[in-house]
């Protein structure tokens, strides 16, 4: 156990030195966003629309994901951080798409998709009746079925909320429509290899020596940490800019400063 703790402490110190500027700037972005949201919270709450609630939720998802990414990268778990960023990219893409146009219609479709998910969950419950036999779920089942029957026509693709608006391409097409296709084609795809434990992801967790002996990479390292920190900072600034535009917040100067700081920091970075 002491060996593991020592290994993690050493990695922490190494990453702090290697990525000190990137970590510091990410924290600066997070702090700036938090102060801005606190300052404008009353104005944002005044908007009672579904689209404002959905936009706020999705941006919170982006922020929490990027904060967790920073913690993982600081401890030397860059590969694992990219798994979180895959989820963060989905949240950001949905945020950009919903606020792009027809925001209320899109937000209602997004939020009411929960009734499709509830029906899917109910089907899973039915497959394991012994686990739930002590519970009286009939009233809830009736509510789920009623909502499902009422809204199912809005969801021609059963596991994709925007299927009524995007008939082909799903998330990739959504990403293309909001200028995030590169991120989907590369970052999302590579992270999916890790998420699904595809064989291509083996190179980050194992290695083979010249004499064909394999070794486990069980401990933390700097692998992919800088890349993950770069993406987390990118996602935060994009999401913040989207929220500022959507809620019409007077934060343009702040955004410009963050964008300039990001560009200066990562201009000559060689991502490892």
Query: Does residue 231 lie within any of the structural domains?
Result: yes
pLDDT confidence of residue 113:
98
pLDDT confidence of residue 268:
57
pLDDT confidence of residue 272:
35
Q: Is 169 helix (H, G, I), strand (E, B) or coil?
A: coil
Query: Does residue 253 lie within any of the structural domains?
Result: yes
Query: Does residue 152 lie within any of the structural domains?
Result: no
Q: Kindly give the parts of the chain with pLDDT less than 70.
A: 1-8, 11-12, 268-272
Q: What is the pTM of this model?
A: 0.91
pLDDT confidence of residue 3:
63
Query: Does residue 228 lie within any of the structural domains?
Result: yes
Query: Does residue 74 lie within any of the structural domains?
Result: yes
Q: Is the dihedral of CA 241, 180, 87, 20 positive or negative?
A: negative
Domain count, the chain: 1
Give the structural domain span for 216: 2-104+170-266
Query: Does residue 25 lie within any of the structural domains?
Result: yes
Q: Is the dihedral of CA 115, 117, 123, 126 positive or negative?
A: negative
Rounded Cα distance, 125 and 130, in Å: 9
Query: Does residue 137 lie within any of the structural domains?
Result: no
Query: Does residue 132 lie within any of the structural domains?
Result: no
């Amino acid at each position: 156990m002491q060996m593991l703790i020592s290994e993690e402490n050493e990695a922490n110190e190494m990453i702090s030195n290697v990525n000190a500027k990137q970590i510091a700037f990410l924290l600066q972005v997070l702090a700036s966003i938090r102060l801005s949201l606190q300052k404008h919270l009353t104005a944002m709450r005044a908007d009672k629309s579904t689209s404002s609630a959905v936009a706020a939720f999705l941006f919170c998802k982006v922020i929490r994901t990027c904060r967790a990414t920073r913690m993982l990268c600081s401890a030397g778990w860059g590969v694992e951080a990219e798994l979180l960023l895959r989820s963060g990219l989905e949240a950001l893409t949905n945020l950009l798409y919903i606020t792009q146009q027809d925001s209320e219609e899109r937000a209602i479709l997004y939020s009411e998709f929960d009734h499709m998910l509830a029906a899917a969950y109910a089907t899973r419950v039915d497959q394991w009746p012994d686990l739930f036999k002590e519970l009286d779920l009939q009233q809830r089942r009736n509510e789920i079925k009623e909502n499902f029957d009422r809204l199912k026509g809005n969801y021609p693709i059963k596991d994709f909320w925007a299927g009524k608006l995007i008939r082909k391409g799903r998330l990739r097409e959504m990403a293309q429509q909001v200028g995030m296709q590169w991120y989907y084609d590369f970052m999302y795809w590579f992270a999916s290899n890790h998420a699904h434990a595809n064989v291509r992801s083996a190179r980050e967790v194992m290695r083979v020596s010249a004499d064909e002996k394999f070794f486990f990479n069980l401990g933390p390292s700097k692998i992919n940490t800088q890349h993950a920190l770069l993406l987390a900072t990118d996602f935060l600034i994009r999401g913040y800019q989207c929220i500022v535009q959507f809620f019409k917040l007077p934060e343009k100067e702040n955004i410009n400063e963050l964008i300039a700081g990001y560009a200066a920091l990562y201009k000559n970075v060689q991502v490892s």
